[in-house]
C-alpha cells in the first residue's frame, strides 16, 4: 500500500490531496497488471472507469484500425487515461487506448470518482487545470501537424507542378525529335536507284530518334552514280545537324568533279570553315560506272567495303589502312582512290562501324568475320534482303543489350 500511496502522491491530479485521502485511495483502488499490446478500451464504447498509470506506457489512438488512424498521445507513469467517459454526459470513450510493453495501472470506477469529488471538491479544479493543459498541448500538436501537412502539401504541389512542366517539356522534346527524325530521314534517298544490271539496297537504324549515320545515291552525268555512306562523331541532335551539313556539302561537291578524292577534299574544306565544335565525320564516297561496272571510291577514315564474288570468294580491296583520314579536322587529309570491278553476280557492301561494333550482354562484338560470312551466305538474295538479313543477325547477336551506335548499310549487286 505504501508503494501505491507514494506513486499516487506523485500523480499531478492527486498531488494536492491530504495524506489520509491518499491512504484511502491506495486501499480502495484496484491495481492491475496489463500485458503488452492489450487494448484497454475502444473509441465509442461506454466507459464507467478510468486508470492511473503506475508503470509502463499507453497509446491514445483516434480512429483505430482505419486509414485515418492517428496516434494522439502516449501516456506514462503519473498520467491518467479514460477520464473523458466519466466527464461526458453520454459516457462514451473519445479514443482507444492500447498498452505498450508491460504496464501497471490503478483502476478507478465511476463510483470511486464521484465519491472522491464529494470528499474533495477542489479536485475538480485540479482536473480542469490538467485537462486544460492537455487541451492546449493537443491544440499545439494539431497546429504543428497542420503546418507540417501544409508544408508537405505545398512541397507536393510544387513537385507536381515541376513534374507537369517536365512532362510537357518531355512531350515537346519528343515531338521536336520526331520532327527532326522526319527531316533527317527526308535527307536520305527516298527511292533506291533503278539501273540496268544492278540491284541496290539500304538499311539505316539510328541509336536514338536522330543520329549521325547517313547514306546517299547521287545521280551524275551519263551512266555514273555517286554512292556514299558516312558516320558523324557523337550521337543525337548535334550529330544529326552535322550529318545534314555533310550530306548537303557532299551533294554540292559531287556535281563539280568525278574524282571521289577531290569530292571529299572539297567537303573537308567546307567543314573546316563551318565546324566550331571539333566534330568530324568518316565517309566513303565512290562513283559507279554502270556501263563498265567499275566502282572508284575514296575512303576518309571509314570502314573498307566488302566485295563478295559470285562464287562466294571475297576480296580485300582496301588493305592500306593508312590511306584515308577523316574529315573535319585536318587541312589536307590523306586520301587515296581505289577502283573495283563489280563482275556479274558480285555483291558490294558498304557499312558503318555500328554493325561490327555491336555487342551483346557479354560484351562480345558482332565483328567483321560474322559480317563477311553473312554477306557471302546471302549473296544470292536481292540487295535489300541482304541488308535486312544482316540487320536481323546483328539484332539477334545484341539480344537484350542496348543499341549503342547507329547502324547503316548500303548494298550493290551486279547482275
Same domain, 141 and 195: no
Quote the cell numbers at residue 376. 557471302
> What DSSP element (H or E) covers 144?
helix 123-187
Quote the cell numbers at residue 74. 502516449
Same domain, 19 and 103: yes
Same domain, 29 and 99: yes
Residues forming beta bridges with residue 349, ordered by sequence position: 306, 411
Collapsed DSSP state (helix, strand, coil) of residue 352? coil
Same domain, 138 and 219: no
Asked if residue 195 belongs to a domain, the reply is yes
Which residue in this structure is represented by grid cell 589536307?
Answer: 332
Of the two residues 16 and 364, the one the predictor is more confident about is: 364
Asked if residue 175 belongs to a domain, the reply is no
Alpha-carbon gap, residue 38 to 301, rounded angstroms: 81
Listed residues 146, 180, 204: the one ending a domain: 146
Could you tell me the CATH number of the domain that includes residue 387? 3.60.40.10
> With 70 as the cut, is the pLDDT of residue 87 above it?
yes
Same domain, 281 and 400: yes
Q: How many CB atoms lie under 10 A from the CB of residue 391?
A: 17
Asked if residue 348 belongs to a domain, the reply is yes
Asked if residue 166 belongs to a domain, the reply is no
Asked if residue 329 belongs to a domain, the reply is yes
Same domain, 312 and 249: yes
Could you tell me the CATH number of the domain that includes residue 139? 2.60.120.10
Three-class secondary structure assignment of 10-62: HCCCCCCCCHHHHHHHHHHCEEEEECCCCEEECCCCECCEEEEEEEEEEEEEE
Listed residues 91, 125, 146: the one ending a domain: 146
Mean pLDDT of the region 254-268:
93
Same domain, 208 and 132: no
Which of 77-91, 232-246, 294-308 ranks highest by mean pLDDT? 294-308
pLDDT at residue 121, rounded to an integer: 83
Instruction: State the pLDDT confidence band at 235, using cuts at 50, 70 and 90.
Output: confident
Strand order in the sheet with 314-315: 198-205, 407-414, 347-351, 306-308, 314-315
- Give pLDDT tens digits for 140-175: 777 787 888 888 888 988 888 888 888 888 777 777
Same domain, 318 and 231: yes
Same domain, 61 and 140: yes
Mean pLDDT of the region 28-54:
87
Asked if residue 76 belongs to a domain, the reply is yes
pTM of the predicted model as reported, rounded to 2 decimal places: 0.63
Listed residues 120, 146, 172: the one ending a domain: 146
Domain of residue 340 covers 191-414
Alpha-carbon gap, residue 324 to 158, rounded angstroms: 56
Same domain, 202 and 96: no
pLDDT at residue 229, rounded to an integer: 97
Asked if residue 207 belongs to a domain, the reply is yes
- Give pLDDT tens digits for 291-338: 999 999 999 999 999 999 999 888 766 655 556 889 999 998 989 899
Asked if residue 370 belongs to a domain, the reply is yes
Instruction: Count structural domains, the chain.
Output: 2
Residues 6+ apart with CB under 8 A from 389: 374, 378, 381
Same domain, 133 and 235: no
Same domain, 257 and 406: yes
Amino acid at each position: 500500500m505504501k508503494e501505491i500511496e507514494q506513486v499516487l502522491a506523485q500523480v499531478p491530479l492527486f498531488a494536492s490531496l491530504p495524506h489520509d485521502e491518499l491512504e484511502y485511495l491506495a486501499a480502495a483502488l484496484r491495481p492491475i497488471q496489463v500485458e503488452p499490446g492489450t487494448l484497454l478500451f475502444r473509441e465509442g464504447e461506454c466507459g464507467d472507469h478510468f486508470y492511473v498509470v503506475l508503470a509502463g506506457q499507453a497509446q491514445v489512438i483516434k480512429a483505430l484500425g482505419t486509414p485515418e488512424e492517428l496516434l494522439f498521445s502516449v501516456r506514462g507513469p503519473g498520467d491518467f487515461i479514460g477520464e473523458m467517459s466519466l466527464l461526458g454526459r453520454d459516457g462514451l470513450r473519445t479514443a482507444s487506448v492500447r498498452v505498450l510493453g508491460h504496464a501497471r495501472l490503478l483502476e478507478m470506477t465511476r463510483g470511486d470518482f464521484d465519491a472522491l469529488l464529494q470528499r474533495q471538491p477542489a479536485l475538480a479544479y485540479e482536473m480542469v487545470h490538467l485537462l486544460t493543459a492537455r487541451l492546449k498541448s493537443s491544440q499545439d500538436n494539431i497546429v504543428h501537424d497542420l503546418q507540417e501537412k501544409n508544408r508537405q502539401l505545398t512541397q507536393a504541389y510544387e513537385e507536381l507542378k515541376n513534374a507537369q512542366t517536365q512532362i510537357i517539356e518531355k512531350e515537346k522534346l519528343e515531338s521536336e525529335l520526331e520532327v527532326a527524325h522526319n527531316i533527317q530521314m527526308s535527307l536520305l534517298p527516298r527511292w533506291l536507284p533503278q539501273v540496268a544490271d544492278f540491284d541496290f539496297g539500304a538499311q539505316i537504324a539510328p541509336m536514338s530518334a536522330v543520329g549521325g549515320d547517313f547514306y546517299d545515291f547521287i545521280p551524275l552525268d551519263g551512266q555514273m552514280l555517286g554512292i556514299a555512306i558516312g558516320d558523324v562523331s557523337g550521337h543525337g541532335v548535334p550529330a544529326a545537324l552535322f550529318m545534314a551539313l555533310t550530306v548537303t556539302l557532299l551533294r554540292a561537291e559531287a556535281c563539280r568533279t568525278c574524282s571521289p578524292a577531290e569530292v571529299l577534299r572539297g567537303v573537308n574544306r567546307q567543314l573546316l570553315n563551318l565546324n566550331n565544335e571539333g566534330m568530324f565525320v568518316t565517309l566513303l564516297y565512290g562513283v559507279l560506272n554502270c556501263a563498265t561496272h567499275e566502282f572508284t571510291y575514296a575512303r576518309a577514315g571509314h570502314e573498307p567495303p566488302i566485295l563478295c564474288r559470285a562464287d562466294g570468294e571475297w576480296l580485300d580491296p582496301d588493305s592500306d589502312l593508312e590511306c584515308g583520314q577523316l574529315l573535319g579536322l585536318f587541312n589536307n587529309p590523306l586520301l587515296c582512290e581505289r577502283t573495283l570491278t563489280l563482275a556479274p553476280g558480285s555483291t558490294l557492301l558498304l557499312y558503318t562501324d555500328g554493325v561490327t561494333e555491336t555487342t551483346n550482354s557479354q560484351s562480345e562484338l558482332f565483328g567483321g568475320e560474322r559480317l563477311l560470312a553473312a554477306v557471302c551466305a546471302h549473296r544470292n538474295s536481292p540487295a535489300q534482303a541482304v541488308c535486312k538479313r544482316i540487320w536481323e543477325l546483328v539484332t539477334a547477336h545484341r539480344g537484350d543489350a542496348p543499341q549503342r551506335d547507329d547502324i547503316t548499310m548500303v548494298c550493290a549487286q551486279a547482275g
